[in-house]
Amino acid sequence: MTDPRYSKLARLLIEYSTALKRNERILLDMIDVPDEFTVELMRAVRVVHAIPLVEVRHSRVTREVLLGTDEAHAKTVREIEMFRMKKVDAYIAIRGAANASESSDVPGAKLALYSKTLRPVLNYRVNKTKWCVLRWPTPSMAQSAGMSTEAFENLYFDVCTMDYLKMAKAMVPLERRMKQADRVRITAPGTDLSFSIKGIGAKMCKGDRNIPDGEVFSCPVKDSINGAIQFNTPTLYSGTKFENVRLEFKAGKIVNATGSNTKRLNEILDTDPGARYTGEFSLGFNPYILNPMCDILFDEKIAGSLHLTPGQAYEDCDNGNRSAVHWDMVLIQRPEWGGGEVWFDDELIRKDGRFVPGDLLPLNPNKLK
């Protein structure tokens, strides 16, 4: 018998996240996902009389693809993927992996070549389709979260099927404030960072692009960031885990970057010129996600967190920065993580991970659950 939580999540993704309509075509990109859930997702598509196209991938095979790639191969993949992406109206990617570090031994030059060559496909998908991206709960994710497999699966389905309509209503005042703000200042242990978001705009994320969700993002004016930020959560990028990442900015550019693997960190930041500038600033507040598990789709939504992103900006909140890199790095500001403050202009917006202004109180964890 299929787990009833599978059908509940499938319906949410099709009926809410992508709001799929009759005769629309959707690409289901399934990476190390149980066949049973892929079947449930296809059935949910057919219930709304839409058309499912399915791609099944495996991370071990993808590693081999990356190890052997070159310019001619990557361009061929891009042409095929772009042709298919232009044929669909919507896209869902579900990414599981028995080993989150499967690509850790792929040379950095290969990863950079492949990601830069295929970046136009990602840009088209983000800007031209209805899309949603999520993980699949695996024992490796449970291990990263310090939980049993069963406990993590329960958390996963609670988080992924929460009341996103309630959350969306609570986000509206924060989105409005971010659209109106000019100066942002972030303080925390090892962190004192200032920048402008004037005229950039803001976007609330309410379960229609990522699951789990729970953030409102903007983007720093490209040359406005000055100061330093010390991230206090681990981050995984292209199969390599980094800890204690510290970035120093001058006139928007990362002029110094250190961490547990400083060499690899700077290799990624040297992928192209845009990788040393930023493409996103966001506040996270999902009440069910409290601790990092080295999976960015969860970690960037941690209650009381913020993330800052070297690399590509989204067209929704665009500072003009372009890069093959988009690397969300997370700072938690709850007291047990060292605390911290977020200011918009001269107003304290969040202190020690809790929103302060009255109109933002519904975003605090005790109100959202």
pLDDT of residue 297: 85
- If you write DSSP's letter for every residue of 179-236 in order, what string do you get? HH--EEEEEETTEEEEEE-TTT--EEESSSSEES--EEEE---TT--EEEEE--S-EE
Residue-averaged pLDDT of the chain: 95
For 148, 150, 291, 360, the CA distances from 137, given in Å and listed in that order, are 11, 10, 16, 31
Q: What are phi and psi of 68, to 5 degrees?
A: -100, 5
Token pair 């500038």 is found at 277
Query: Has residue 322 got a pLDDT over 90?
Result: yes
Query: Cα 144–147–150 angle (5° rounding)?
Result: 120
- Sign of the dihedral defined by the CA atoms of residues 274, 88, 68, 137, in that order: positive
Residues 175 and 253 grouped into a single domain: yes
How far apart CA 255 and CA 277 sit, in angstroms, is 10
Residues 95 and 55 grouped into a single domain: yes
Query: Has residue 2 got a pLDDT over 80?
Result: no
Query: Has residue 22 got a pLDDT over 90?
Result: yes
- Nearest to residue 167, comparing CAs of 104, 216, 113? 216
Query: Cα 122–27–281 angle (5° rounding)?
Result: 35
Residues 21 and 49 grouped into a single domain: yes
Domain assignment of residue 197, given as a range: 164-368
Residues 208 and 175 grouped into a single domain: yes
Burial 143-172 (b: 16+ CB within 10 A, else e): ebbebeeeebbebbbebbbbebeebbebbe
Of 133, 160, 187, the one marking the end of a domain is 160
Residues 168 and 95 grouped into a single domain: no
DSSP H stretches of helix in 247-312: 262-269, 296-299
Query: Has residue 177 got a pLDDT over 80?
Result: yes
pLDDT of residue 126: 92
Q: What is the mean pLDDT of residues 172-183?
A: 98
Residues 180 and 65 grouped into a single domain: no
Three-state SS at 31: strand
**Overall pTM surpassing 0.85 (yes/no):** no
pLDDT of residue 101: 85
How far apart CA 233 and CA 336 sit, in angstroms, is 13
Of 145, 160, 175, the one marking the end of a domain is 160
Which residue spans within 8-129 are E strands per DSSP? 25-31, 51-57, 90-95
Least confident of 110-114, 190-194, 245-249: 110-114
Residues 189 and 259 grouped into a single domain: yes
- The residue that leads in pLDDT, 346 or 98, is 346
Residues 305 and 182 grouped into a single domain: yes
Three-state SS at 303: coil
What is the pLDDT confidence band of residue 287, given thresholds at 50, 70 and 90?
very high
Percent of the chain with pLDDT over 90: 86
CATH of the domain at 110: 3.40.1830.10
Residues 114 and 228 grouped into a single domain: no
Q: What is the pLDDT of residues 233-277, one digit of tens each?
A: 999 898 889 999 999 999 999 999 999 999 999 999 999 999 999
What is the pLDDT confidence band of residue 56, given thresholds at 50, 70 and 90?
very high
Residues 239 and 209 grouped into a single domain: yes
Residues 267 and 364 grouped into a single domain: yes
pLDDT of residue 83: 98
How far apart CA 62 and CA 45 sit, in angstroms, is 27
Number of domains in the chain: 2
Residues 267 and 354 grouped into a single domain: yes
Of 129, 160, 191, the one marking the end of a domain is 160
